[in-house]
Amino acid sequence: MRTRFGDFILNSSPPLPMPVGVYAGLEITGDSVRQAVTEAQSQFRAVMALHERFHTPVMLTAMDLSVEAEAFGCRIRMTEDEIPSVIGRRVTNAAEIKALPIPAVGSGRTAVSLETARRLVMAADGTPVLGGVIGPFSLACRIFGVSELLEISLTEPVVLIALLEKVTRFLTQYLSVFCDLGVHGVIMAEPAAGLLSPRGLAQFSSAYVKQIIDAVVTPDFTVILHNCGAKLVHLPKVLESGAEIYHFGAPMNLAQALAQVSSEVILAGNLDPTGVFFSDTQAEVIARTRELMQIAAGYKNFIPSSGCDLPPHTPLDNIAAFYETVNGSMG
Amino acid sequence: MEHKLDEIFNAVVNGDADAAKLNVQSALMDGMDAERILNEGLIASMKEVGRLFEEGEYFVPEMLISARAMQGGMSILRPVLVEQDIQPIGKVVIGTVKGDLHDIGKNLVSMMLEGAGFQVYDLKTDVAPEKFLEAVQTYQPDILGMSALLTTTMNNMKATIRLLEEKGARENIKIIVGGAPLTQAFAEQFGADGFAQDASQAAALAKALMDGSRG
């Protein structure tokens, strides 16, 4: 289904730059990561600061893959300056999965994500707003334990499926609430699915993402599927999810991916957020961005972006270099 | 006897831990040399798993269950190896650095190193420089491996290396680093001896460093 956000992308010339990163805005506001992930007002200010500084064509809420896991009861480690991480395992076997309650939308910090999105929509002045959520397989990993879940994907798939069904029900409800807020869509992050074989990815990620997409996507609300670990070999199975837009990381061969997908499918990515945005010099960012634009030359169905979330303390000058290069105003 | 080795090999490559244990037990009972079971059965099979991963046929789940099968076989073999005083090819201390709780990459590297014949001391996650130092002083490893998945924590690799230098513990070990934000350039900047992109490369790198050390 073509959505208003998809139209917005396809009708843009030159391509619209959309690095994924809210934490860089904290360099401007001076708030901590802890504040941004626990206070909607802080996260809102970070997004607006980036929007004002770089005239961002899209506004994104923060990528924080602990939010939904925390709502399910996972223990979280939170520090001032790091994106929160999940500690331990919430469930470890079939019985515990069966007993695991599905949280209400708005539980824990899902309320922060939703409130941030709501404030952005109110302030947006026509700029599209995208929310951020985790994908079903990646959420299941955080609840069960990454290594353990990857193993049972081969040894006890029935147990994994039971958990996937629960998280999918929650995510469907969660995305519906985002939709009701008036955002243009969400970026759904499924990084753990990139660790699976193509067949495993199809069975344990795409199938459930598709269920969510079929339930929530409307002409006004899109789902952008982010998988920063996926490689070209995964592409056909990732596409089975039926998303309108796919956001890939550095491991994806973007040139070949663009050649393989139909013009109806929009791809985004994929400059390395740490290797390029965080670590490189401004001149190197310009050079890598130009290479990316050359790869995508002639394709309207492409969004130049980072391959994943920009880490905290990413130099603002590097982000500026990226925007200016894509917009064509640098040499 | 050869078919016993094939059965061990196939059990590990297929990720069948029960078969790996049974076949190692059976080979020992048939009188097969323990070192041969280790080298031509278990280590050879993990080398094949590494190749399958590099070739894009195996992915992380397949590696994990193969490594689990290898560990199962090793649990039967280890007492015999100890009894016969058969030494590992080297000792490795490994951990995820302070402030970082990610462990999937580190776990895979541990398993591949064990599968390559190393004795591995896994310090788990959130390991402070002082704890790495203590482990190096206690276990006297040949190699120290450090993992980080966050840009904000990877600088603790540099801090750890500096501390080892300060305390005179740097000279006799090789240090390898890995994790998503790491690059060869960062590894060199931190003073590490090597950088590995994935678990299979880490095992190969560790072996190469050991071979280099033996001169």
- Mean pLDDT, to the nearest integer, of A45-61? 97
Give yes or no for residue B215 having a pLDDT over 70: no
Q: Are B144 and B93 in contact (CB under 8 A)?
A: yes
B134: CB partners within 8 A, 6+ apart:
none
3-state secondary structure of A18: coil
| Rounded Cα–Cα distance for residues A199 and A206 (Å) | 10
**Rounded CA gap, A68 and A184, in Å?**
20
Candidate from A325-329, B12-16, B158-162 with smallest mean pLDDT: A325-329
Say if residue B209's pLDDT is above 80. yes
pLDDT in tens, B77-113: 999 999 999 899 999 999 999 988 888 889 999 999 9
Show residues of chain B in contact with A275, CB under 8 Å. Answer: 181, 183
* Cβ-contact A294, A325 below 8 angstroms: no
pLDDT of residue A275: 86
In sign, the C-alpha dihedral spanning A206, A207, A208, A209 is positive
**B121 Ramachandran zone, left/alpha/beta (phi>0; psi -120 to 50):** beta
Q: Assess contact for B112 and B200: CB atoms under 8 A.
A: yes
Q: How far is CA A232 from CA A67, A198, A229, A258, A261, in A?
A: 29, 10, 10, 10, 11
pTM to 2 decimal places = 0.93
The rounded distance, in Å, linking the Cα atoms of B61 and A192 is 11
pLDDT of residue B200: 87
ipTM of the complex: 0.91
Enumerate the β-bridge partners of residue A218: A221
User: Residues A224, A226, A230, CA angle at the centre, nearest 5°?
Assistant: 140
Question: What local confidence, expressed as pLDDT, does residue A181 receive?
Answer: 98
- Angstrom distance (rounded) from CA A253 to CA B21: 41
Q: Which residue of B has its CA nearest to A312?
A: B152
pLDDT at A331: 42
Decide if pLDDT at A319 tops 80.
yes
Q: What is the pLDDT of residues A149-198, one digit of tens each?
A: 999 999 999 999 999 999 999 999 999 999 999 999 999 999 999 999 99
Which of chain A's residues have a Cβ under 8 Å away from the Cβ of B65?
151, 154-155
CA distance A154 to chain B (A): 7
Output the six-digit token pair for A146.
Answer: 């990454």
Contact state of A154 with B181 under an 8 Å Cβ cutoff = no
